[in-house]
């Protein structure tokens, strides 16, 4: 699977897997990616029609540097929640009950 620079990776968590029942999928996207660019990339890679895209910038987290009292901050990243047209799906995500 070769995702372009706009789509970084799918987010596979319990919450995002619950959204697949509502025909919504969650992706980490590039910080400079616009909603139109994400929609075009999903159409090109997966051949699906997008109804709605919600994007949000997730802040970085503070991580402690071991054996010191100092912290470093992980970089911020952008998340996109994509709603697809009825009857379409992305087979990238694992199935329940296997």
Task: Please spell the DSSP secondary structure of the chain, one letter per residue.
Answer: ----SSEEEE--SHHHHHHGGGTEEEEEE-TT--HHHHHHHHHHHH---EEEEEEEEEPP-EEEPTTSS-EEEPPPEEEEEEEEPTT---TTSPPTT-
pLDDT at residue 33 greater than cutoff 90: yes
pLDDT at residue 13 greater than cutoff 60: yes
Average pLDDT of the chain is 90
**60 within domain boundaries:** yes
**94 within domain boundaries:** no
User: Residue 79 sits in which domain range?
Assistant: 7-84
pTM over 0.85: no
**34 within domain boundaries:** yes
Confidence of residue 2 (pLDDT cuts 50, 70, 90): low
**16 within domain boundaries:** yes
**98 within domain boundaries:** no
**36 within domain boundaries:** yes
Q: Is the dihedral of CA 79, 1, 85, 19 positive or negative?
A: negative
| Number of domain units in the chain | 1
Q: Provide the CATH number for the domain around residue 62.
A: 3.30.70.330
**92 within domain boundaries:** no
**68 within domain boundaries:** yes
């Amino acid at each position: 699977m070769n995702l372009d620079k706009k789509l970084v990776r799918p987010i596979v968590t319990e919450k995002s897997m619950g959204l697949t029942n509502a025909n919504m999928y969650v992706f980490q996207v590039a910080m400079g990616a616009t909603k139109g660019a994400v929609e075009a990339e999903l159409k090109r890679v997966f051949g699906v029609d997008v109804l709605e895209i919600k994007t949000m910038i997730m802040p970085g987290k503070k991580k402690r540097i071991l054996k010191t009292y100092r912290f470093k901050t992980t970089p911020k990243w952008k998340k996109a929640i994509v709603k697809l047209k009825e009857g379409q799906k992305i087979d990238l995500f694992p199935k329940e009950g296997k």
